């Protein structure tokens, strides 16, 4: 008997190993196998008695008496690997906690109770649904009861009650004895969200999986899910692989959120993984957003998903009034806050209400420049501009995270006058403290939340009204529901618009709509002040009008004219090397090889230097491939990658459906 084994390496294909007589580990069990001159933990994906045309090695040991991955997960991972051009083993092992990836025992008895550090919320009962919520719920319930795989897109304005629809759909699954998975973006996985679900289903029934957890804590929750103790799983991207026994529903909240796409191999999108996994289990998928991805909304309009809409806020609470301020007309070149926003902050504080100030850029100053010769401080490993972080008293390269000391002399002309230009969240916080000395001000961005639990601590303090003004990046743009927040100020709406990305308008509209939706969610009326240098941009005007459909109709025309998603499938192929000469030469050679073999329906653009042409001392070149359908690219790339490998000292990164 031979075991077919997938290993956690970027190697296409599987490997066969001899099994001792009488041993037959089921697919989904881990094994130890010899691999070249080392030992690896592998995953059994099949058994066979068929002789192989090559010599096989004996297996070193079986680690599990029962599978750690279910059959539907094995097949979903295979489909995801095919779609993303990743190795099957890489996808399979990304589904496991770190302990299990290292070969530690999986069948340790789960801890019987939740740690005391996790609060026990009061139990709650289902809310009465609005007519629109009821229609959406009944449509989803029909698919749940029929155990039918179907994709739903729940498009509801901010504050329209999407979460209550999720809760009642999950309750339907729970009552039928099945399990549910709720995916939320990592930055939206707040105590508020978790407590709402634990209040409805009970503390023991809910498990949480996310990257900020201690590894031992994450394993404990994984074991509770696998044993059936926990039947509602809430988590970030990787929770799509949770080992639930009887999958009845997957919900993807804020389905448009870019963080659902994994940056490293395997480069999968959680939305795509959810649809594949639910398809294997015969379960429905519910995608939800106030600002759906254009691809998802287009799928719904074309009948590939069922569109459900919540056009109004709960209790007919009005959407916040949005004011656009043209910063070109403001006096004072270095002014952060317009007169309109300054006055709005004053009035908010005077009334004892709360405000959110949003800027999607960290740090204090984004440009550090010599006042004599104009030399700009750049990262020696990336050639990317360094950002000054006053809290650390360091210059930081955001792409590679390198730290550099703040220069006292210009390295070029030895001038001693260093100027700090641009702005980030640290500077916004500093200016607010100067302008409003009596206000309680806090900041929430990656720098301010590096300590464990600091993210939760800030949000709880904000919820108790111990903070008047909260400054932050996109961490504060979604998932927050605080009744006393009546003001949202967008310091600079143009940051995303200036990026070399065909989705820049879409991202801008989504961010403005989402962060603006934090204002006026209860009885107090809300207002949003958007500061911009492009006040007539369609994305900004659509956000002011709370008008997703108009934005979609305009943007989709542009996408169709230039042949971009959702009308084509897109792949970015990056060539990287420590040698700039090698990277460019390999990119040119690769482009020639692709052109010689690709079907007529595939279009190739490039090669050209990548948007960040140098990262961590490596030179990067990029090729773009498009085709009318993803299946065309999938088949072509699979065949090409079977036959071609990068040369020594060069690495390829194939990113399917890049974000």
For residue 118, the model assigns a pLDDT of 52
The CATH number for 340's domain is 3.40.50.300
CB neighbourhood size of 158 (10 A): 23
CA 526 to chain CA centroid, nearest Å: 28
The CATH number for 645's domain is 3.30.70.600
Decide the pairing of beta strands 179-183 and 232-235.
parallel
* Angle, vertex CA 263, rays to CA 149 and CA 601, nearest 5: 70
For residue 112, the model assigns a pLDDT of 44
Cis peptide leading into 338, omega within 30 of 0? no
Q: Is residue 395 part of a domain?
A: no
Spatial separation of the C-alpha atoms in residues 338 and 316, rounded to whole Å: 31
Boundary (domain end) residue, out of 560, 588, 620:
560
Strand (E) or helix (H) holding 34: strand 30-35
What distance separates the 2 farthest-apart alpha carbons in the chain?
84
Say how many domains are in the chain.
4
Find where tokens 């085709």 sit.
627
Boundary (domain end) residue, out of 560, 587, 610:
560
Contact assessment for residue 395 and residue 387, using Cβ atoms and an 8 Å cutoff: yes
Contact assessment for residue 418 and residue 375, using Cβ atoms and an 8 Å cutoff: no
Extended beta strands in 174-312, E state: 179-183, 206-209, 232-235, 247-253, 285-289, 306-310
CA 203 to chain CA centroid, nearest Å: 26
DSSP letter for each residue of 458-494: HHHHHHTT--SEEEESGGGSSS---TTEEEEEES-TT
The CATH number for 41's domain is 3.40.1440.60
Q: Is residue 451 part of a domain?
A: yes
Strand (E) or helix (H) holding 629: none
For residue 44, the model assigns a pLDDT of 97
For residue 111, the model assigns a pLDDT of 52
Cα separations in angstroms, 606 against 587, 589, 622: 9, 12, 7
Spatial separation of the C-alpha atoms in residues 31 and 514, rounded to whole Å: 46
Closest CA to 306 of 171, 410, 152: 152
Q: Is residue 650 part of a domain?
A: yes
The 10 Å CB-count burial string (b at 16+, else e) for 472-493 is: bbbbbbbbbbbebbbbbbbbbb
**Residues found in the chain:** 659
Q: Do residues 64 and 166 both lie within one domain? A: no
Q: Is residue 389 part of a domain?
A: no
Q: Is residue 125 part of a domain?
A: no
Domain that holds residue 590: 569-656
Q: Do residues 627 and 544 both lie within one domain? A: no
Q: Is residue 234 part of a domain?
A: yes
The token pair at 431 is 């200016």
The token pair at 612 is 């960040």
Q: Do residues 162 and 147 both lie within one domain? A: yes
CB neighbourhood size of 37 (10 A): 5
Helix (H, G, I), strand (E, B) or coil at 110: coil
The token pair at 387 is 């950002």
Q: Do residues 235 and 146 both lie within one domain? A: yes
> For the chain, which residues score pLDDT lower than 70?
108-122, 187-188, 331-334, 447-452, 479
For residue 120, the model assigns a pLDDT of 59
Q: What is the pLDDT of residues 65-82, one digit of tens each?
A: 999 999 999 999 999 999
For residue 27, the model assigns a pLDDT of 95
Q: Do residues 237 and 322 both lie within one domain? A: no
Q: Do residues 436 and 450 both lie within one domain? A: yes
Q: Do residues 145 and 179 both lie within one domain? A: yes
The 10 Å CB-count burial string (b at 16+, else e) for 340-354 is: bbbebbeebbeeebb
Q: Do residues 138 and 217 both lie within one domain? A: yes
Contact assessment for residue 620 and residue 585, using Cβ atoms and an 8 Å cutoff: no
Spatial separation of the C-alpha atoms in residues 310 and 558, rounded to whole Å: 27
Q: Is residue 28 part of a domain?
A: yes
Q: Do residues 447 and 515 both lie within one domain? A: yes
Which spans in 228-356 are helix H? 270-281, 294-301, 339-350
Contact assessment for residue 243 and residue 73, using Cβ atoms and an 8 Å cutoff: yes
Contact assessment for residue 386 and residue 520, using Cβ atoms and an 8 Å cutoff: no
Rg of the chain over CA atoms, in angstroms?
26
Helix (H, G, I), strand (E, B) or coil at 547: coil
Q: Do residues 304 and 325 both lie within one domain? A: no
Closest CA to 377 of 399, 401, 400, 406: 406
Q: Do residues 94 and 145 both lie within one domain? A: no
DSSP letter for each residue of 499-526: SS-TTHHHHHHHHHHHHHTTSS-SSS--
Q: Do residues 505 and 545 both lie within one domain? A: yes
Q: Is residue 397 part of a domain?
A: no
The token pair at 384 is 């990317």
Strand (E) or helix (H) holding 637: helix 630-643
Spatial separation of the C-alpha atoms in residues 59 and 165, rounded to whole Å: 49
Find where tokens 């360094």 sit.
386
């Amino acid at each position: 008997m031979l075991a077919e084994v997938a290993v956690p390496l970027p190697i296409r294909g599987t490997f066969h190993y001899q099994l001792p007589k009488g041993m037959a580990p089921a697919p989904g069990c881990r094994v130890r196998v010899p691999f070249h001159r080392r030992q690896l933990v592998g995953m059994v994906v099949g058994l066979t008695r068929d002789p192989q045309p090559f010599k096989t090695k004996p297996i070193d040991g079986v680690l599990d008496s029962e599978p750690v991955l279910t059959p539907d997960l094995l097949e979903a991972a295979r489909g995801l690997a095919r779609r993303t051009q990743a190795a099957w083993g890489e996808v399979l092992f990304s589904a496991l906690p770190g302990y299990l990836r290292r070969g530690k025992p999986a069948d340790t008895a789960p801890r019987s109770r939740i740690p005391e550090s996790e609060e026990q919320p009061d139990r709650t009962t289902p809310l009465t649904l609005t007519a629109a919520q009821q229609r959406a719920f009944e449509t989803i319930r029909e698919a749940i009861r029929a155990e039918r795989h179907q994709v739903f897109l729940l498009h509801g304005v901010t504050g329209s009650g999407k979460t209550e629809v999720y809760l009642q759909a999950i309750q339907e699954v729970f009552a039928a004895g099945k399990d549910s998975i709720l995916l939320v973006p990592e930055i939206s996985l707040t105590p508020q969200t978790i407590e709402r679900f634990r209040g409805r289903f009970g503390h023991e029934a809910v498990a949480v999986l996310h990257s900020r957890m201690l590894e031992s804590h994450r394993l404990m929750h994984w074991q509770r899910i696998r044993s059936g103790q926990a039947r509602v799983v809430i988590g970030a991207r990787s929770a799509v692989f949770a080992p639930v026994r009887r999958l009845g529903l997957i919900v993807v909240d804020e389905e448009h959120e870019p963080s659902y796409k994994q940056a490293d191999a395997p480069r999968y999108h959680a939305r795509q993984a959810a649809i594949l996994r639910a398809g294997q289990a015969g379960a429905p998928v519910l995608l939800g957003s106030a600002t759906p991805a254009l691809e998802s909304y287009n799928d719904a309009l074309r009948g590939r998903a069922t569109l459900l809409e919540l056009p109004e806020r709960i209790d007919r609470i009005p959407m916040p009034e949005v004011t656009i301020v043209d910063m070109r007309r403001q006096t004072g070149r270095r002014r952060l806050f317009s007169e309109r926003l300054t006055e709005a902050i004053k009035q908010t504080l005077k009334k004892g209400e709360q405000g959110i100030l949003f800027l999607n850029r960290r740090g204090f100053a984004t440009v550090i420049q010599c006042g004599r010769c104009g030399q700009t401080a750049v990262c020696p490993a990336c050639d990317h501009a360094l950002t000054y972080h006053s809290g650390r008293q360091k210059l930081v390269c955001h792409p590679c995270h390198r730290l550099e000391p703040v220069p006292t002399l210009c390295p070029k002309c030895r001038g001693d006058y260093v100027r700090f230009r641009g702005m980030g969240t640290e500077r916004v916080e500093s200016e607010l403290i100067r302008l409003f000395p009596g206000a309680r001000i806090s900041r929430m961005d990656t720098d301010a939340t590096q300590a464990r639990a600091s993210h939760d601590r800030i949000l709880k303090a904000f919820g108790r009204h111990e903070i008047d003004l909260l400054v932050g990046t996109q961490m504060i743009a979604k998932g927050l529901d605080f009744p006393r927040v009546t003001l949202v100020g967008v310091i600079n709406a143009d940051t995303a618009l200036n990026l070399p990305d065909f989705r820049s308008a879409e991202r801008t509209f989504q961010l403005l709509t989402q962060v603006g939706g934090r204002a006026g969610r209860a009885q107090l009326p809300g207002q949003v002040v958007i500061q911009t240098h492009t006040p007539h941009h369609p994305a900004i005007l659509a956000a002011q009008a709370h008008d997703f459909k108009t934005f979609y109709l305009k943007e989709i025309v542009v996408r169709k004219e230039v042949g971009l998603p959702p009308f084509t499938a897109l792949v970015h192929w990056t060539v990287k090397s420590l040698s700039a000469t090698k990277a460019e030469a390999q990119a040119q050679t690769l482009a020639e090889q692709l052109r010689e073999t690709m079907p007529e329906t595939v279009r190739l653009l490039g090669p050209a230097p990548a948007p960040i042409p140098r990262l961590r001392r490596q030179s990067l070149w990029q090729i773009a491939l498009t085709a009318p359908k993803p299946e065309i690219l999938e088949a072509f790339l699979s065949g090409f990658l079977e036959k071609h490998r990068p040369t020594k000292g060069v690495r390829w990164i194939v990113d399917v459906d890049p974000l």
